[in-house]
Structure 1
């Protein structure tokens, strides 16, 4: 039996004993420990455990008796789970991650090419706040979809998806939760984009604010709604094929998401810009329908769903903080777009690849903790505070996948760099060795920082009883956007100083 070192202060023995008194009549009040619950919970009749109306004050904050059963992890089960993860072959991880990684890379290249083309649209020239909105909206969509992927991947590993009824509840609750978060967060990020642009570029325009809010909310809700069902199908199929959804789902979530979001955003922004002076009421009507009609319906559905009602009230801090961080990355993009030709082509690539890979690692670490430990306890096969080389190379269990992801990133970024350059320059390569080495160098710095930060953040959240599936990925992908944009800007500035800057064919023709 696994005995975890919890303090008895975490329990309310009187309430718990009153429920279990027929099982332990002779036990003194001061001798009920976590190990006691673990050892006796398997003897409680299943009907009593499944009774949802019976509540106890168990480990922390009011759980059902079913929760006590769910933490009754035998030593054999914990060891088997840890050994399964440890014995996962490197080539198995590589193959499962590589294909979605390459598909995701194609998606980020497409996003870069689209962004490079839409910057010629009139709306992008006139409404500068769109450049601040782009990374935030893409980041928001990625955060929401990847959190959904992480939550459902963990549920698949825990065996919850075996029941079709529970699977349906999970799908409805999670899709509704993403819609609620998308509506609220897209409005907030539009306000942030307008305010930040007003401070940087000067001037505030209410029509532009309405345009950004309406196009942002349409983009976030439509792209998330469609892509969520694709993502759910991927998780279910991979789980039935005995593949690890953690390796496949998160990069697949971003594979087409970025380019779809950019296309939808640019299309709606262009359409609304064409009528924003003559028919501004259309944008007001769009916002009214979503906020007054659509949002309350989704909130009602999510509040009644046992899988998502807690996230609805407690899952906002990571999403909103991530929006602010991504918005800072948008400010970097806004300042760089006029200084360096070609920056917009490579910015979505470095941001997208870094975010995809760190999301894979975050999902894997979270699943490992859920399968081998109790919330609040760091299992013996990993550590919360470690040196970077232990987290990234060798020293703890998650280091195996971390070093695979780092090694995979180097050739992957090289391929994506040259492919994006060829497409952007219509078949002519403009990449010089200095640019290629600098770009891959800053990409390496970005992914190593992200993977190490992921290790620290996820273990810290787990230690403080926060579910990483709901909290970690928004911070990590937002940091990936900020680090990627900032490091890429430094790379372009460095190359200009040494007279080796990137000169695309468009610039040469001018």
Structure 2
């Protein structure tokens, strides 16, 4: 095991922050965080996982471009509202699960069989409980947001949305959770740092798995509702029964109980924010079919980029300060210049690298879509300029908000490791979908009105 991991294990675990020691009100930081990472090294380590996750997003985007023509998406357009909310569960549940279990692995908590079993079962029960509850809330939001514009309520559509949402949430979280556990335990066995492999795999598999399950559930229920009307009711009733059971299992483990008690506001608020992004997607797809293939890519890249910055900022704060007290020479309220240009500190260099990665990543993935002859949009020069501008604006705003939000969370005693990423990925979904809609509308207004853009 490398030196940083050894030093991580040697920390005083009695310290509530787990990151530094405090003696007579004097803060003694963990200096191991001050690494000699070069800009090139940081860029390579970030770029490779982004490629892995990105091709998973491309596959999910191609799938969305296909299923948007299915009958259930045409007749029950509220399903579009579920897409960002349920796909956001990847960042809110599976990626945070991977991060938590990777920390446990690096601290040696998964080396003992009895403790390993408790942590794994507790965390799986935790994400199942959270997934079912968020699935219910996402379906309620989809029904309300779809009901308000149309002014009519359809009970059959409401049951379909609820059953599809909770069924997808439960199945996707269980499947991805088991995959994460297997990857982390295997990595630990072979002395590989799971932080380097688990989160990118969660990102690459999450969108594709969730969208596939949602489309299959919704399509099945829509086609067979008349012949088997009891199926959606059974799915909903079974999910309600599982909530207290999963809560009981999660409470049996100390680590998962803490998240169960305090981890609800970020997940629920993120789901609400993503649902508004789904409302924008529902409206935009009705006007421009070409949006569908790009929506998951722009949101996924933005979410992955800001998650890296959020994770690094949280680590820096844990190693240089105590919760509720910002480190010296660190301010919560700063301008964009401080975030990207002020000096050559680690956080500024990271922000610059992440901004420089936006265009190469999008070019690679849009070229992949072109090579596969997918989508409904011609890749003209003006389209690429407008699309890349939207992507740059999205990531610029996200990185700036991440800096300010995480500093304020830390100042007010909120651990950003548990709260920041759900908010930021949800904001990325909302911004990405909105900016993509604006981009397509702008292209239409300036004369890019070929049959591909408006098909």
Q: Answer yes or no: is 1:313 the counterpart of 2:313.
A: no
Other-structure match for 1:385: 333
Other-structure match for 1:469: 417
Q: What CA distance in whole angstroms lies between the structure 2 residues aligned with 1:72 and 1:399?
A: 26
When Rg is computed on C-alpha atoms for both structures, the one with the higher figure is: 1
Whether the aligned pair in 1 keeps the contact of 2:332 and 2:407 (CA below 8 Å) is: yes
Other-structure match for 2:137: 188
- Change in 2 beyond 3 A, CA 1:201/1:394: same
Which digits, 9 at most, give the CA deviation of each residue in 1:153-206, with x for residues without a partner?
444565655555444433222221111010011011101101111112332111
Q: What CA distance in whole angstroms lies between the structure 1 residues aligned with 2:43 and 2:20?
A: 32
Other-structure match for 1:273: 222
Other-structure match for 2:65: 116
TM-score, normalised relative to structure 1 = 0.80
Whether the aligned pair in 1 keeps the contact of 2:122 and 2:253 (CA below 8 Å) is: yes
Other-structure match for 1:144: 93
Q: What CA distance in whole angstroms lies between the structure 2 residues aligned with 1:68 and 1:334?
A: 43
Whether the aligned pair in 1 keeps the contact of 2:324 and 2:410 (CA below 8 Å) is: yes
Q: Answer yes or no: is 1:102 the counterpart of 2:51.
A: yes
Deviation at 1:475, TM superposition (A): 0.5
Q: Answer yes or no: is 1:80 the counterpart of 2:80.
A: no
Which digits, 9 at most, give the CA deviation of each residue in 1:259-311, with x for residues without a partner?
1111111011111111212322111111111211x222210011121112122
- Change in 2 beyond 3 A, CA 1:83/1:502: farther
- Change in 2 beyond 3 A, CA 1:66/1:389: closer
Q: How many residues align?
A: 442
Deviation at 1:224, TM superposition (A): 1.5
Q: What CA distance in whole angstroms lies between the structure 2 residues aligned with 1:331 and 1:146?
A: 25
- Change in 2 beyond 3 A, CA 1:352/1:210: same
Other-structure match for 1:303: 251
Whether the aligned pair in 1 keeps the contact of 2:305 and 2:354 (CA below 8 Å) is: yes
Q: What CA distance in whole angstroms lies between the structure 2 residues aligned with 1:128 and 1:417?
A: 26
Q: What CA distance in whole angstroms lies between the structure 1 residues aligned with 2:140 and 2:278?
A: 13
- Which runs of no fewer than 5 residues in structure 1 stay unpaired? 1-41, 43-48, 51-64
Q: What CA distance in whole angstroms lies between the structure 2 residues aligned with 1:429 and 1:136?
A: 25
Deviation at 1:99, TM superposition (A): 2.0
Deviation at 1:76, TM superposition (A): 10
Other-structure match for 2:3: none
Q: Answer yes or no: is 1:361 the counterpart of 2:309.
A: yes
Other-structure match for 1:460: 408
Q: Answer yes or no: is 1:451 the counterpart of 2:402.
A: no
- Equivalent of residue 300 in structure 2, options 352, 356, 361: 352
Q: What CA distance in whole angstroms lies between the structure 2 residues aligned with 1:503 and 1:380?
A: 57
Q: What CA distance in whole angstroms lies between the structure 2 residues aligned with 1:471 and 1:151?
A: 13
Q: What CA distance in whole angstroms lies between the structure 2 residues aligned with 1:382 and 1:314?
A: 27
Other-structure match for 1:400: 349
Whether the aligned pair in 2 keeps the contact of 1:432 and 1:502 (CA below 8 Å) is: no
Match of 2:392, SS?
A: helix
Other-structure match for 2:172: 223
Deviation at 1:244, TM superposition (A): 6.3
- Change in 2 beyond 3 A, CA 1:68/1:449: closer
Whether the aligned pair in 2 keeps the contact of 1:246 and 1:364 (CA below 8 Å) is: no
Match of 2:286, SS?
A: coil
Which digits, 9 at most, give the CA deviation of each residue in 1:92-141, with x for residues without a partner?
32222222211211111111111111111111111111011111111123
- Change in 2 beyond 3 A, CA 1:70/1:120: closer
Q: Answer yes or no: is 1:324 the counterpart of 2:272.
A: yes
Whether the aligned pair in 2 keeps the contact of 1:81 and 1:372 (CA below 8 Å) is: no
Other-structure match for 2:4: none
Q: Answer yes or no: is 1:201 the counterpart of 2:201.
A: no
Q: What CA distance in whole angstroms lies between the structure 2 residues aligned with 1:145 and 1:343?
A: 26
Other-structure match for 2:318: 370
Match of 1:209, SS?
A: helix
Other-structure match for 1:431: 379
Match of 2:37, SS?
A: coil
Farther off after superposition, 400-409 or 182-191 = 400-409
Which digits, 9 at most, give the CA deviation of each residue in 1:314-344, with x for residues without a partner?
2111111111110110111111112113111
- Which runs of no fewer than 5 residues in structure 2 stay unpaired? 1-9
- Change in 2 beyond 3 A, CA 1:70/1:403: closer
Query: Which structure's relative contact order is higher, taking Cα pairs within 8 Å and 6+ residues apart?
Result: 2
Deviation at 1:485, TM superposition (A): 0.4
Whether the aligned pair in 2 keeps the contact of 1:251 and 1:357 (CA below 8 Å) is: no
Whether the aligned pair in 2 keeps the contact of 1:150 and 1:363 (CA below 8 Å) is: no
Supply the RMSD in Å over aligned alpha carbons: 2.8
Deviation at 1:217, TM superposition (A): 1.1
- Change in 2 beyond 3 A, CA 1:241/1:410: farther
- Change in 2 beyond 3 A, CA 1:429/1:70: closer
Whether the aligned pair in 2 keeps the contact of 1:105 and 1:353 (CA below 8 Å) is: yes
Deviation at 1:383, TM superposition (A): 3.6
Other-structure match for 1:32: none
